[in-house]
Amino acid sequence: MSFIIDKSITSSELTVKCLIPNEFYKPYKERLENQILSSIEVPGFRKGKAPKEIAFQKINILTFYNQVYNEIIDKFFPDVSKEIEEYLEEKDRIKDFFNADIKQETINEDDKGFSFEVGLKLLPQIIFDDFKKLKITKAKEEEIPNLLKFEDVLEREIKYYLLNYNEYISDNNSTVKENYKIKADLFFTDLEGKNPETRENKDIELVIGDKKIDKNIIGMKVGETKTFIETVSVPHDDHYHDKKVEYKVVCKEILKPKYSKIEDIIKNNSELEKQIKSKKELEKTVKTKFDNSIQLELQKLDDKKLIQALITDFKVTDLPIKFIDSEVDRIFSNLTKTSTENKLDIVEVFKQTKLPNLKNEKLTKENIPLIVRDYVESEIKLVSILKNCYQKKVEKKVTEEEIETLAKSIKSYPESYGYSKNDVANLEDVKNIAFDKMIRELAFDWIKSQVQFID
């Protein structure tokens, strides 16, 4: 028997009117009432044996019937849900992941039975065959930003071994050079603090390589003291902050490296020789890692190109305009509030956020709402595409165990996933983050299997 008496569908929502006839509803309601009232204690009566009209005087009627109605809905909703799924399949629509919204104001009991309305958010519509029409030009090495040559990477790797696996001998008659070590007293003061406090590390060993402060130490002699100021990046919340620090270095001993060639390092270090038998083998290992890193960077660029194509070229209909409007208003209101409270120009406030300027437009007070709207629309469009693909095309669905495992990892190492500690304070929120991340990745992998990547 069908419990649905009416259905109405819009571009973004399905509303279903349901009626549970008295023949199904009343017997179940009476059993629930008796079950709940059986636990009510009324003076002068055995527990659960007081007449209904007297027992009702001892409880909150509104709370009582909310419980009854909710349990009735839970009882009959699986049948309603099955009908909804069949109807959506017929209309070729996909519901969002959110649970069905039981509209509390529509719950009613009359001579026909028990009625209520259900609202379900629907995903925007896409045509899956359109993915095969997308053509993405594969990225080339010259497109990789800040690409290092293999020779530079190899030189850096060799330098690492020269610095960290060398033997050092005292040479107090010389001056400090690159690749040397020194024993020193190091004092440093944060010049940006309200009450600058000097900290010290005595008798520490410093390797002179390519750290920012090393250029100031090169050329020092034993017994010499040198003070200098450097700007350094230090972690702050979920980002890095540049600050000025004053250093004072007292050079107490100079140690020069015993070996200048990687071959000698390998030959005279038994532990290292087990890992790297020769310079040639080191070059081979570094080359393999280098080639793999190139392929990884090319894959990232291909993914970015595909995402851009999905945002700009892929057709999606029935985007939730009201929701987009509300999100744009919310974000812009927050920007305006921050601007007012901190007496900052809204352009500066926008620059401090992580919001992207997708079209790289010149930032002005007037066009920031448009830039925010571009971001919101593109994000909702992309998420809609991925959710559609996950629900309809991805065969292997995410399991609760997989969500739990990833959620624990995100909560333990939030920075590794691009989140701050505040973002992962609530475990349920972290589970939602984990689920969202996993379905996006699975859906994106399916999309990549459909589009054409051309040279």
Q: What is the pLDDT of residue 150?
A: 95
* CA angle, residues 373, 376, 381, in degrees to nearest 5: 120
CA–CA dist 81, 100 (Å, integer): 9
Name every residue whose Cβ is closer than 8 Å to that of residue 40 and which is 6 or more positions away in sequence: 47, 48, 50, 55, 58, 59
User: Which tokens hold the place of 336?
Assistant: 């305006």
Report the Cα 333 to chain-centroid distance in Å.
23
Strand partners, 6: 17
Q: How large is the angle between the packed helices 321-342 and 368-392, nearest 10 degrees?
A: 140
Q: How many CB atoms lie within 10 A of CB 119?
A: 14
- Residue-range domains of the chain with CATH: 4-122 (3.30.70.1050), 168-257 (3.10.50.40), 292-454 (1.10.3120)
Q: Which two tokens stand for residue 177?
A: 């050079």
Pairing mode, strands 135-137 and 452-454: parallel
Q: Name beta bridge partners: 247.
A: 188, 228
Look at residue 329 in the predicted model and tell me its pLDDT.
94
8 Å CB contact between 5 and 19 = yes
Please report the pLDDT score of residue 137 as a whole number.
96
pLDDT at position 98:
64
Residues linked to residue 15 through DSSP beta bridges, in sequence order: 8, 119
Positions in the chain short of pLDDT 50: none
DSSP SS3 for 227: strand
The reported pLDDT for the residue numbered 201 is: 93
